[in-house]
Amino acid sequence: MNAMRYGWRRNELVSLGLVIKKRNEFNNLEELCSLAQNIKQTFIHNYLDSHIDVDLS
């Protein structure tokens, strides 16, 4: 099950433009999950910054 979840997260990162060359102790499932979430949040933040004009005055 963990191998399947690892593969899913790895594929998610590839779809976000990153390539994980090999699996080692530095790219475990928790790190991949965290990295994918951080990248998606950055994309969302950048999208909102560029497409929503809010006047707070």
* 10-45: burial string, b at 16+ Cβ within 10 Å, e else: bebbeeeeeeeeeeeeebebeebbebbeeeeeeeee
How many separate domains does the chain show? 1
Between 56 and 45, residue with greater pLDDT: 45
Between 54 and 5, residue with greater pLDDT: 5
Instruction: Report pLDDT digits (tens) over 9-50.
Output: 788 888 888 777 766 655 677 777 888 888 889 988 888 888
Instruction: Evaluate whether residue 46 is within a structural domain.
Output: no
Instruction: Evaluate whether residue 27 is within a structural domain.
Output: yes
Cα–Cα distance measured from residue 42 to residue 8, given in angstroms and rounded to the nearest whole number: 20
Domain coverage including residue 23: 2-41
Cα–Cα distance measured from residue 34 to residue 2, given in angstroms and rounded to the nearest whole number: 15
Instruction: Evaluate whether residue 56 is within a structural domain.
Output: no
CB atoms within 10 A of CB 5: 12
**Token output for 13:** 């990162």
Instruction: Evaluate whether residue 14 is within a structural domain.
Output: yes
